[in-house]
């Protein structure tokens, strides 16, 4: 996986998200969609997140790691 912070060996995870409102709430604001995350075991953190169109409607934005530094 290559992101702005560099190249990482990463595991791709696919998640089904369900967004709900308060108990008993029915209406706008309830949805579901798929998200993908790339986790780097070497960096011990996620390096990228990507969301399908349904989840972007809920202000979830694609992102990626822009810098990285290992502790010495």
Q: Domain range spanning residue 45? A: 2-56
In a domain, 67, yes or no: no
- Is 64 within a domain? no
Domain-located, residue 18: yes
Q: Give me the residue label for tokens 């990228």.
A: 48
Domain count, the chain: 1
Q: pLDDT category, 39, cuts 50, 70, 90?
A: very high
Chain position carrying tokens 């579901």: 32
Residue 49 lies in a domain: yes
Does the pLDDT of residue 23 top 90, yes or no? no
- With respect to residue 8, please indicate whether it lies within any of the assigned structural domains: yes
Contact yes or no for 39/13 (Cβ under 8 A): yes
pTM of the entire structure?
A: 0.78
Rounded Cα distance, 66 and 2, in Å: 11
Work out the pLDDT band at 70, boundaries 50, 70, 90: confident
């Amino acid at each position: 996986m290559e992101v702005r912070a560099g190249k990482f060996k990463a595991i791709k995870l696919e998640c089904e998200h369900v967004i709900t409102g308060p108990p008993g709430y029915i209406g706008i604001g309830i949805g579901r969609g798929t998200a993908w995350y790339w986790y780097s075991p070497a960096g011990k953190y996620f390096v990228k997140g990507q969301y399908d169109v349904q989840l972007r409607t809920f202000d979830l934005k694609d992102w990626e790691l822009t810098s990285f530094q290992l502790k010495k």
